Structure 1
Amino acid sequence: MTGTKSKLSFWQIWNMSFGFLGIQFGFALQGGFMSRIFQTLGADKDAIPFLWIAAPLTGLLVQPIVGYLSDRTWHPKFGRRKPFFFVGAVLSTIALFFAPYSSALWMAAGALWILDASINISMEPFRALVADKLPDSQRSYGFVVQTLIIGIGTWIASNLPWLMTQLGASNTAAEGVVPDSVKYAFGIGAFVLFSSILYTILTTDEYPPENLEEFEKEKKEQKGLFSGFNEIVKNIAGMPSVMKKLGVVQFFSWFAFFTMWSFATPAITEHIFGATDPSSEAYNNAADRVGNYLGTYGLVSMFYALILAFVASKVKLNRRLLHMGSLIAGGVGFILIYFIQEPWMLHISFSLVGIAWASILSMPYAMLSSSVDPKRMGVYMGIFNMFIVIPQIVAALGGVNFLYKAIFGEAVINTMLLAGTLLILAGFSNLLITERSATHD
């Protein structure tokens, strides 16, 4: 298709984004329960961030490369982004299924590494697909619909181990063995991941390059690994000003959420429930409850995204102010966890976190996609996600452990104070972004 892009209906946007349901099943199970698996296999709390490091390190390499390759892929039948959806889905499904069967820490860390790298093969082309198919006036709407689907996936997947326990699966196991409730949850997640991405592949068409002859000519001129690497480096050096400013926001945002994923389970099971033995029934029941609370942020992000989708379809959004307020709300939610004494009140905290999560998954991409060359959308989306993995690498290499202990003290619950502080800083960092093309629809 050439010329102006046609507006798509809600269900067309839903179909092209539906694969994110499975991607988020993978991320939610990974984020909510890999630390539980690590603790079950004998990991010390302070070692948990380091066990996560392979995932963001791989993402640092995979994301821009996949973006670059998908920009230069076109097949009349298979499209541009869809081949990457499929390859990522197959690898992710295998890694997600086998992760809870790990019998040693190195195996679990390796499974997380493969899982995260594989999900990224699918995820970044999904982001680029929204920019490929939607006119600028529908970009915010498109990314918000993706976030709605992500919220559904987060809520369901985060509650799966609890649901498996309610249906009769064992929630305890021998020391060093992951309970059946977690194994079944990961198996269901693997099925949903593959089937939902396959649904998008089968129901969504892609536009060919506007000038196919010029596209093929550029591909021939830029053959070879060195040429691709040189192109990625050139795009990094010449990234738009908006991307650099958004990078500051992303750094604080994803440092905060990495802290939550790494430490929510040990922090809440210890601080709220007084459970510290990973092989005990009390710990495993408390860990299921943590999954419920993490599901709350997914559920609220779903409703918040639904509201944003309705609003974005009717009026123009000030993306910058919306994102700033949402991140500050999430930061307050994290900080409140420290002061909570009644477990049910954690749903309030994670509801605020859900508001931030919905915005993180939509507004930065909407701002970015309005500020970059459409021909390089894939590689720029991949480069942009370096601002997601770099803060996670910094956190995993000791950043979390050093900061929360140096600023707030030794207790592991102080990780939530750190996460809240960083998210509030991320919110105020939006004031750096002044370009109207990025901040308004």
Structure 2
Amino acid sequence: MKSKPLLGCIADDFTGATDLANMLVRGGMRTVQTIGVPAASAPIEADALVVALKSRTVEAGDAVRQSLAALEWLRAQGCRQFFFKYCSTFDSTDRGNIGPVTDALLNALSGSAEAFTIACPAFPENGRTVYRGHLFVGDALLNESGMENHPLTPMTDANLVRVLQRQTSSRVGLVRHSDVMQGAEAVRAAMASLGSSGVRVAIADAVSDEDLYTLGAACADLSLITGGSGLALGLPANFRRAGLLDEKVDAGGLQRVEGAAVVLAGSASKATNAQVAAWRESRPSFRIDPLAVARGESVVEQALAFARKYMHAENPEPVLIYATASPEQVKATQRELGVTEAGELVERTLASIARGLHLQGVRKFVVAGGETSGAVVQALDVRSLRIGEQIDPGVPATTTIGDEPIALALKSGNFGTVDFFSKALAHLEGHAG
């Protein structure tokens, strides 16, 4: 008899989904990620399921509808507990979407206004910590970390209680670090006290992995947990303590994939800009100019010809095709094309390039940026992924499930070391044998 999945997860973008799945695999949970809500209801053999949505920056009502559809599918699969995953920099606007989606999921799971959950985007391994309700990126407050320049979700307030309260009619509270330091029982007592006072969602402080394990243990009985991928560190142990999960040393094993490789980058984050600069010092690259695309120039064909030249060289090598730019360049493009159109134009262009590269024999893709990753996996008609070993914190290797597998490394814009592209390609080649 096939075992039913234990944990059902809803992620608001594609790289966030793989980031979360990576954490679960590290905890010994066999994990499958779907791209969107599957049409079929056939049971999937896994310990955890992660539904990757593209709902972070859509209209709040649409994000709620997508998330509820994902919840319905996960419940049909038999999941016992649910996790709503968003970015470790709490990417959102005053309209949402973290608050509205959390409210909708809480209501659907409890049917009661007295439901309770926590919100914790902390990911100390990648420098994201929460203290006194304030989110830090490294040593900087969120609003001084570069996220204040994000083209779609500029984060200008580091106080997450305040940020989340602007998105929801539910009362928002805080589980303080002083409680977390005392252990899971103290956290449960703090949550009970908050819940009895009318709080439905509490920001939870966490400055270390130990804090995340404590929070995970404290949340064992919650129907819904919300946070960044770091919060998932403590969840597999809950199922293991309950006798529902065996140790699985091969949870991250992936199948062999043959074929050429490429790097695609659309993120404008600081980390991705540095990664692009490092690659360009010694390896071939092709820049996508959104304004040239808007003028009708044959940018897609030029990029494919550039890649083909290096794929078929005497000594073949992968290329980088990128639209990554500085904040100033991004703002200049947005002024000319509009914020939404500029982003969608880049996504459409990289998606078309990905399709063309696949037709040319590329079977290994390293992709930088959540929106870019979403566009690429949709262009490649990827329906589900088996999650493999970690490349860098928050970024695992993955392979598609099916007869003609594709190897993918989908990276959130701000993740990865400066040499991530080369490291990820080497990792995917290693999985290819």
Provide the TM-score with structure 2 as the length reference. Answer: 0.28
Higher relative contact order (CA 8 A, sep 6+): 1
Provide the TM-score with structure 1 as the length reference. Answer: 0.28
Higher strand share: 2
Higher helix share: 1
